[in-house]
């Protein structure tokens, strides 16, 4: 697996383009949310990246999806209640 896709928290600081998940060995990793292709239950949760790499995690599909949605809101400046956050400009 390439470091650009997945790394330990020590390798990559938490940034707005990553989600933190826990491997089956209980070690946390950060995953670039932009590179997630799909998430499935096999019955363990498996994240497949666009590169084809697969990561088995302890989190449920719902938890991974919630983290990906939170990531999307952060980069698009949407609040949790669905309203746009204030933007600059003349008013």
Averaged pLDDT, groups of 10, the chain, 91 residues long: 45 62 96 93 95 97 93 72 52 44
| 56 within a domain of the structure (yes/no) | yes
Q: What is the pLDDT of residue 9?
A: 44
| 84 within a domain of the structure (yes/no) | no
| 91 within a domain of the structure (yes/no) | no
- Say which DSSP state 8 is in: E
| 20 within a domain of the structure (yes/no) | yes
Cβ contacts of 58 within 8 Å, gap of 6 or more: 21, 22, 23, 24, 26, 44, 45
Q: What is the dihedral of CA 65, 26, 9, 63, to 10 degrees?
A: 10
| 15 within a domain of the structure (yes/no) | yes
| CATH number where 16 lies | 2.30.29
Tally of residues, the chain: 91
Closest residue by Cα to residue 28 from 37, 36, 19: 19
Q: What is the pLDDT of residue 84?
A: 53
Question: Which range marks the domain in which residue 21 is found?
Answer: 6-76
pTM comes to 0.66
| 89 within a domain of the structure (yes/no) | no
The partner residues of 55 in beta bridges, in order of sequence, read 47
Indicate the number of domains in the chain.
1
Q: What is the pLDDT of residue 90?
A: 47
| 85 within a domain of the structure (yes/no) | no
């Amino acid at each position: 697996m390439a470091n650009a896709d997945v790394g330990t928290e020590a390798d990559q600081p938490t940034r707005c383009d990553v989600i933190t998940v826990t491997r089956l060995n209980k070690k946390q990793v950060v995953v670039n949310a932009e590179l997630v292709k799909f998430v499935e239950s096999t019955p363990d949760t498996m994240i497949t990246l666009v590169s084809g790499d697969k990561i088995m995690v302890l989190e449920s599909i719902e938890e991974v999806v919630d983290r990906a949605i939170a990531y999307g809101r952060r980069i698009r400046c949407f609040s949790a209640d669905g309203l746009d956050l204030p933007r600059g400009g003349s008013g």
